[in-house]
Amino acid sequence: MTSLLIRLFIKNHQNISDPAVRSRYGSLSGAVGMAGNFLLFLLKGILGLLSGSVSILADAVNNLSDAASSLVTLIGFHVARKPADEEHPFGHARFEYLSGLGVSFLIFVIGFQLAKDSIGKILSPTETVFTFAIAIGLVLSILIKLWLAFFTHRIGKTINSASLMAAAADNRNDVISTSAVIVGALLSRLFGLPLDGYVGFAVALFILYSGFGIAKETIKPLLGAPADAELVKMVEQGILSYDPIVLGIHDLMVHDYGPGQCFASVHAEIDRNIDVMVAHDVLDNIERLFQTKHNIHLIIHYDPIVTDDAELVEAKAFVHDIVHAIDPRMSLHDFRMVKGVNHTNLIFDLVLPAGQSNREKEIRTQINDRLAQSGKTYFAVITFDTVHYTTND
């Protein structure tokens, strides 16, 4: 069913790197979500009115909020595909994240209102009716929600959409909340206990928790989340495949301006003896490759390094061993030597793992102490960097 809908409504559906195709995926998911959730709202609304159950009505209103969320997602994908303009030179793709934040806000509002209504039902319980027909209707709604969860998850995973993955998680949560409503109604019928208000309150708490989770995930990229480890690995391998011209890279930074709007910068280490025009041509080719193949706007800084000075190479290897012994996660680059009358300055940048910036003074002292213990007249002049991406360590 999902594959059929994709083939019917998305032209050139395999080309997900095309922003227009990606937008069609999002629009299809939003339209199906709106239709499916509005159908569930009508079904559960009727069942809730027939049974007098606040928990079923709460579940119905939750589906109405999901339909509204799908509308927000639909609008979000439409706005996100707008091209860059004078006021938004990096495009509008981040609007997709804002739409996800709007979805979480709607979920919060619904959750608080349902909690309020459920507390009223707990304080003033009324009799509810739960028949076999109502049970069948709720089970049918669970099956519909399961399919919506699968459908949204597949599309979200296909186009790597945080807002659609959040919507898929919300659909799965709705399956759990509707199941809780059925269990609560059965227990009330079997034992004659007024559990409807309590179940409704539990559903409301679950909805609020879901809204918090969605808000957390959509705020991350807006605040500036670190680049994904797999993306970093792909960039590193792609650039280093141009060995022996490119000997190493450092200072990789990735900026996410929304799906399909990825900007990155990196320093590429190249032997200083290689002709500058040759090096420049290679770096231009790498930048074009990432633009055409991966849709990444990559800017590479040419960083010449010394490879034919035996003393410098030996000193760099010596410092590398010291750094690795202190913390193997650290790395150094931009290494150079400045000789003085009484000592030689070893000047380099040292990359610290994320969250380790408070150790700068300690690490600087450790490195210089070990240099002093070696009997050499070396002194480390260190500029500390911080890694800007996640790792698999």
In this structure, what DSSP letter does residue 260 have?
A: T
- pTM for this model (two decimals): 0.65
pLDDT for position 391: 59
| Domains, the chain | 2-223 (1.20.1510.10), 240-300 (3.30.70.1350), 309-393 (3.30.70.1350)
Residue 55 has pLDDT above 80, yes or no: no
pLDDT of residue 213: 81
Say whether pLDDT at 376 is over 80: yes
> What distance in Å separates the CA atoms of residue 274 and residue 287, rounded to the nearest whole number?
19
Count of CB atoms within 10 A of residue 292's CB? 10
The mean-pLDDT minimum among 213-227, 291-305, 362-376 falls in 213-227
HSE-CB of 253 using CA atoms within 13 angstroms: 11
Mean pLDDT of the chain: 85
Mean pLDDT of 186-204: 80
DSSP-derived pairing of the beta strands 378-386 and 344-352: parallel
Q: Which two tokens stand for residue 114?
A: 């349902």
Sheet order of strands, 331-339 included: 331-339, 344-352, 378-386
The proportion of the chain whose per-residue pLDDT surpasses 70, expressed as a percent, equals 98
pLDDT digits (tens, 9 = 90+) for 284-323: 999 999 998 888 899 999 998 888 889 899 999 999 999 9
Query: Average pLDDT, stretch 145-149?
Result: 93
Q: 13-24: per-residue pLDDT in tens?
A: 888 777 778 888
Q: Inform me whether the pLDDT recorded for 48 exceeds 90.
A: no
C-alpha 160/C-alpha 155 separation (Å) is 8
**b/e for 254-274, b at 16 or more Cβ within 10 A?**
bebbbbbbbebebbbbbeeee
Let me know: does 318 contact 325? Beta carbons within 8 Å. Answer: no
Q: Using pLDDT thresholds of 50, 70 and 90, give the confidence band for residue 224.
A: confident
Taking alpha carbons only, the member of 181, 349, 157 closest to residue 259 is: 157
Most confident of 22-31, 65-74, 263-272: 263-272
For range 99-121, the mean pLDDT:
80
pLDDT at 392: 54
Residue 263: alpha-carbon gap to chain centroid: 16
- Determine the pLDDT at residue 68: 81
| 393: pLDDT strictly greater than 60 | no
DSSP structure class, residue 358: G
**Span 317-361, pLDDT tens digits:** 999 999 999 999 899 998 988 888 888 899 999 998 877 878 899
| pLDDT score, position 192 | 77
**Exposure on the CB side of residue 175, measured as CA atoms within 13 A:** 14
Count of C-beta atoms within a 10 Å radius of residue 138: 21
Residue-level pLDDT at 240: 92
Instruction: Tell me the pLDDT band of 109, cut-offs 50, 70 and 90.
Output: confident
pLDDT at 146 (0 to 100): 93
Q: Which of 14-18, 56-60, 139-143, 197-201 has the highest mean pLDDT?
A: 139-143
Q: Region 123-133: what's the mean pLDDT?
A: 79
Residue 390 has pLDDT above 70, yes or no: no
